């Protein structure tokens, strides 16, 4: 599961969530998820041993 899918599932229902812009008027309270980093650490055998994902959560109220 990607970090965006996990965060969207976690925040669904409690407050509106967006990863871009709202198509209409933005609500009074909402969260914006900004993906920051997605790295696959590769070793000598070219097999990823670890996936690192980071995202910024910005709360507007």
The yes-or-no verdict on residue 50 having pLDDT over 80 is: no
- CA torsion, ordered 7, 24, 26, 15, to nearest 10 deg: -40
Percent of the chain with pLDDT over 90: 0
Stronger pLDDT, 37 or 46, i.e. the higher one: 37
Stronger pLDDT, 33 or 39, i.e. the higher one: 33
- What is the reported pLDDT for 38? 78
What would you measure as the largest C-alpha separation in the chain, in angstroms?
Answer: 50
Parallel/antiparallel/unpaired status of strands 30-42 and 17-18: parallel
Burial of 52 (0-12, 13-18, 19+ CB in 10 A): exposed
Q: How many whole angstroms separate alpha carbon 10 and alpha carbon 45?
A: 35
Phi first, then psi: give them for residue 37, nearest 5 degrees: -150, 140
Confidence of residue 48 (pLDDT cuts 50, 70, 90): low
Across 3-23, average pLDDT: 81
């Amino acid at each position: 599961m990607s970090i965006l899918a996990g965060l969207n599932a976690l925040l669904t229902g409690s407050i509106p969530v967006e990863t871009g812009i709202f198509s209409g008027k933005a609500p009074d309270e909402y969260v914006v998820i900004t993906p920051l980093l997605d790295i696959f650490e590769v070793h000598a055998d070219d097999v990823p041993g670890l996936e690192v994902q980071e995202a910024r959560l910005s709360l507007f109220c």
